[in-house]
Amino acid sequence: MKNVHGAAAVLLLSALALTACTGTPAIEVTTNAPAAEVTSTPSLSATPSATADAARGTRANPLAVGETRKVSEGSMWTVGADATIVNSGYIVLPIRLGMDWEATRQQYRDAGQDPAELENTGADPSSSLFVTFVTAGGKTYRDWSYVDADLPEPLLWQVGALYPPAESATAFFPITVPAEDVPGGVWRIENSAGESVFLAQQ
């Protein structure tokens, strides 16, 4: 049988001798703790708090009444609005529209189509733009149910096709919204590509 105790003693003496020569332990028996602890909990300072830092036309920083902006950089539509008309059970958005026909001609070129066709087809805002109302609590309203209401005209779907060289148009868009959901809400105008602009009520 091998002398296990004797072998262990030799190893221990060798380790002590090596320690004496080098001044450092021959065998490290502990592991240092990590210098920093990684955590998935976000710090409070990382939470966005100032809506003024958000880009203009976003939900956190909607366009002010009378302010206009293109729906997107390459869009033909510039949108804005006057103050929201608030009624019992519904609200109405007075929309200001601007048209950039050259942007539309470029879209025709990009699609391999003759931009001259725009003179014959025009552009219908009710086919290109979709209006919704987003409450402060995050709900979206888009429907209209007060068919007998006395509404200002033209409504967006009554405008019809617009043709060059028309540069601007106005329209109204009503949405059924419970009175308790109106405060703090914003309008959203979206194009067919899913790009959008948010507008303040007042």
In a domain, 11, yes or no: no
Give the pLDDT score at 147. 83
DSSP 3-state assignment of 154?
coil
In a domain, 129, yes or no: yes
In a domain, 87, yes or no: yes
Residue whose C-alpha is closest to residue 153's, from 133, 166, 169, 168: 169
In a domain, 45, yes or no: no
Instruction: Tell me the C-alpha distance between 37 and 160, whole Å.
Output: 62
In a domain, 163, yes or no: yes
59 vs 23, more confident? 59
Residue 7 banded pLDDT, cuts 50, 70, 90: very low
In a domain, 26, yes or no: no
135 token code pair = 């409450």
Kindly report the CATH number assigned to the domain that includes residue 85.
Answer: 2.60.40
Report how far apart, in Å, the C-alpha atoms of 182 and of each of 1, 31, 139, 143, 173 are: 91, 60, 11, 14, 15
| Domain total in the chain | 1
169 token code pair = 């148009």
Which structural domain, as residue segments, surrounds residue 74?
55-199
Residue 12 banded pLDDT, cuts 50, 70, 90: very low
Taking only the tens place, the pLDDT of each residue in 71-90 is: 999 999 999 999 999 999 99
